[in-house]
Amino acid sequence: MSSQGSTIYELDTENQICHIDGDWDQFLQANTNQHQDYENLKKRRVLGNKLESYIHDTNTKMLLQTVFAYVRQTQQRKALPYRCDSADQKRYMSMQIEPLADAGLRVSHTQLRSEPLDPPVVIHFESTGNGETVWRCSICNRIESEQVWLEPDEAAQRWCRNSFNVSYTVCPVCMNTV
């Protein structure tokens, strides 16, 4: 999942992570903040666990389950564009899901491009418990407050802040697009 390559993992029929290739641990080390449990997210710790156990919100779980079911049923590859931003970079990504034998899936995450996020925006998962929590889309990374979905840098400028406590969901635009 870095600009240097892809991270690829395989899921069995129950969406259990059964194989990981690529730069998983390197990407993790470069992108884990102090509020995340780095050790429990390393490759050796996630192998054998269900992918859903790492997805916190119901809407994102349902969306991925729908895409996975589509790929398994049609036996056709599906691409899902998404964002995986750092505090100072908008990172445009692609998730490629392809069918394998015995209802397994191969999921590849590749960075397509990045651009500066100005001003930088720091995101804290809601469990930090400090201040107001706003919604953030798991797919496009837009932030919702006062019934408006904005890019993180636009939200920072509009609300005069560079840090947000977030809960994840899927925004209406992404839900309808996927």
More confident residue, 119 or 50: 50
Q: How far apart are CA 153 and CA 142, in angstroms?
A: 9
- Provide the pLDDT for residue 32: 62
Does position 178 have pLDDT exceeding 90, yes or no? no
User: Can you name the CATH fold of 6-177?
Assistant: Beta-Lactamase (3.30.450)
- pLDDT, one tens digit per residue, over 69-105 is 999 999 999 999 999 998 889 999 999 999 999 999 9
Among positive and negative, which fits the CA dihedral 28, 136, 59, 126?
positive
- Provide the pLDDT for residue 31: 66
Does position 116 have pLDDT exceeding 50, yes or no? yes
What is the Cα gyration radius of the chain? 16
Domain ranges of the chain: 6-177
What's the one-letter identity of residue 82?
Y
- pLDDT, one tens digit per residue, over 2-42 is 345 688 999 999 999 999 987 787 777 766 665 466 677 78
Cis before 119 (ω within 30): yes
Alpha-helical segments (H) within the chain: 24-31, 43-46, 58-74, 152-158, 172-177
Q: Could you tell me if 147 and 39 are in contact, meaning their C-beta atoms sit under 8 angstroms apart? A: no
Q: Could you tell me if 165 and 133 are in contact, meaning their C-beta atoms sit under 8 angstroms apart? A: yes
What's the one-letter identity of residue 137?
C
- Provide the pLDDT for residue 5: 66
Does position 59 have pLDDT exceeding 70, yes or no? yes
Burial 39-78 (b: 16+ CB within 10 A, else e): eeebbeebeeeebeeebeeebbbebbeebbeebbeeeeeb
